[in-house]
Structure 1
Amino acid sequence: MNIRLLTANEIECRVQTVKKNGCSVLLYKDARCDMRILDETFGVLGWQRTHELINGNLFCNVSVWDQDKGFWIVKQDVGTESNTEKEKGQASDSFKRACFNLGIGRELYTAPFIWINLGPNDIKENNGKYYPAITFEVKEIGYNANKEIDRLVIVDNHGVERYRLGTQLPSPTKTQKTLSEAQIKRLYALGKKAGRTQEKIQEEVYKRYHCKPLELTKQQYDVVCEGYEKIGAKNDKD
C-alpha cells in the first residue's frame, strides 16, 4: 500500500487567526482530494465508505481491500460539526480524518507554524476585528526522506510570495504612488466611457488589487485601462 504525498495544488490554505500585522495559516486537504487518491491507490472498486452514529457522534469508516490478505482493512474516525451545514460538515470531516488515519495527507502534520506578515492593503477591519483582504495558496512543497515537509512556498492571490520555509520575508508596506496624474485622468476618462463613475472605478480597482487607482503598478494600470477600453468600444457599437 503505497500512498503518495500531496502535491502543491492539492493543499489549501486556511487563515486561522488575524492580527493587525499578520495572520497564521493552516494547511489542509479537502474530501475530493482524498477520494482521488483512494481511486488512484486502490482503484474505484477497491475502497468503500460508510458512516455510523456512536453515542450521538457521526463516525466514518473507510475500508480498503488488501489483495494479499484477502480482506478489508478499516480505518475509523469521528467528525466535528461545521459552522454552516451540520450533518454534511460532520460527514466530510469524519471522512477526511479517517483518510488521515489511512495515511493520506499525514505529512501535513509536519507543517511548521506559518505566520504571514500583512500590510495595510492586506487587512480589512470591522468593529475592531481584522480580516484578510487577500487569499493564499501553496505554490511549492517538498518532502524529505521521512515524508516531512522541508520546502514550502505560499503566495497570495496576486501571485506575490508571502511565505517561504526557513526565510524571513519583510513586512509589506503600503503601496506607494506609481502613476502620474495624466495616467489617472486617462483611467477615469476610459472608465467614464465604460459607464463607470470615479467612485465605481475606485471600488473596482480596490476589489481587484486592494489599492487606490493612484497606487496601481504600471502592469495593473494597463490591464484596467484595456478592460475599460473594451467595454467602452462595445458600448459605442451598441
Structure 2
Amino acid sequence: MNIRTLKADEIECRVQSVKENGFSLLLYKDARVDMAILDEVFGIYGWKRKHEVIGDRLYCTVSIYDKDTNQWIDKQDVGTESYTEKEKGQASDSFKRACFNVGIGRELYTAPFIWITPIDDMKDYKGKFSVSSSFKVKEIGYNDNREINQLVIIDNKGRERFRLGKSINTTIPTTTANTQSNHSAATTEDSMKCTGCGVDINQAVSAYSIKNFGKELCRDCQSKERK
C-alpha cells in the first residue's frame, strides 16, 4: 500500500533557531498524525507498536501486517527525551521516528530552508531573542518524487510570511533588511556546520539533528550521540 504525503493541516511549524535579524522554522508532524495515517492505510488491526529499553535508550517498533506474505514487517527507531517529560518524550519521539521509517512524513526532509524576516515577532530580553508569533502551513505541494515544490506559511494573524524559497516581508525595506538571498546564504552558512566536529552539513541533516538531538550534528556525530 502507498502511504500518501502529508496535507497542510497535518504539518506543524516550530522555531528552529533565532538570531537578531530573524529566525528559521522547522516542519514536523506529531504522533496523532502518524496514528491516523496508519489507521487510514493499514486499518486499525493492520499495525501495532511496542516499546522496549535497549541499553539506556527507549526504542519503538512499528509493525505492519503484510497480507501477501502473512507476516509482520517491523520498523524500529530510538527516541530522545523531551525537556519536560523524559519517558513520555522518548516514547513519542521513538514512535514518530519509527513512522518515518515506515514512510510517513518522509517528504518533510525535502523542505527548503525556511527563514522568516521579523515584523513584530521578536522579543529581546537582555540580548536574548525569542519569537512571540506562531506559524502554520497554509499550502503545500509535491512533485512526482514526493519532494516539496510548493509551500506557503502564514502567521497567527493570517499574514503570509513565507512562500517557497522566499521570506515575505512588506514592512521592512529591502535596503535595510538585506535581500532574501543574502539572508538565506548567510544563515545557511552559519547554521550548516556540525557543532561536534565542524564539518559542513546540508539542510536535511541539520533539521533531522536539531529535531532529534537538539543541536546540529553530522551523521557521524549523531551516531556517537546514540551510543
Q: TM-score higher than 0.5 here?
A: yes
- Report the CA distance between 1:170 and its aligned residue: 3.3
Task: Give the Cα separation in 2 of the matches to 1:166 and 1:23.
Answer: 15
Distance in 1 separating the partners of 2:126 and 2:85: 26
Instruction: Supply the AA of the counterpart residue of 1:55.
Output: G
Question: Is the counterpart of residue 43 in structure 1 residue 43 in structure 2?
Answer: yes
1:77 is aligned to 77
Structure 2 equivalent of residue 137 of structure 1: 136
Q: Distance in 2 between matches of 1:171 and 1:126?
A: 26
Cα distance in structure 2, aligned partners of 1:122 and 1:96: 29
Distance 2:90 2:170 in 1: 38
Name the residue aligned to 1:26.
26
Identity among equivalent pairs (%): 65
- 2:158 corresponds in structure 1 to 159
Partner residue, 1:106: 106
Structure with the largest fraction of helix: 1
Could you list the runs of 5+ residues in structure 2 that have no partner in the other structure?
174-227
CA RMSD of aligned residues (A): 1.3
**2-side partners of 1:99 and 1:164: how far apart?**
28
1:50 and 1:141, CA in 2 relative to 1: closer, same or farther beyond 3 A? same
Alignment pair present for 1:10 and 2:30: no
Find runs of 4+ consecutive structure 1 residues off by over 3 angstroms. Answer: 170-174
Determine the C-alpha separation between the residues in 1 that align with 2:13 and 2:165.
18
Once the two structures are superposed, the pairs formed by residues 1-238 of structure 1 within 5 Å of their partners are 1-119=1-119, 121-170=120-169, 172-173=171-172
Whole-angstrom distance in 2 between the partners of 1:2 and 1:72: 17
Q: Deviations over 1:34-64 (max 9, x none)?
A: 0000000000111000000101110000001
The alignment partner of 1:37 has SS state of helix
Q: Amino acid of the residue matched to residue 140 of structure 1?
A: E
Q: Cα distance, 1:28 vs. partner?
A: 0.1
What's the counterpart of residue 216 of structure 2?
none
Distance in structure 2 (CA, Å) of the matches to 1:122 and 1:81: 29
Scaled by the length of structure 2, the TM-score of the pair is 0.74
Aligned equivalent of 1:181:
none
Counterpart residue number, 1:183: none
Aligned mates of 1:166, 1:97 — CA distance in 2: 27
Distance in 1 (CA, whole Å) between partners of 2:30 and 2:151 is 19
The answer (yes or no) to whether the contact 2:57–2:78 under 8 Å persists in 1 is yes
Q: Aligned to 2:93, what secondary structure does the other structure show?
A: helix
Unaligned runs of 5+ in 1: 175-238
Contact 2:114 2:167 in 1 (8 A): no
Answer with 1 or 2: which has the greater Rg: 1
* TM-score, normalised via structure 1 length: 0.71
Alignment size in residue pairs = 173
- Judge conservation of contact 1:20–1:118 (CA < 8 Å) in 2: no
Q: Indicate the larger mover: 129-138 or 162-171.
A: 162-171
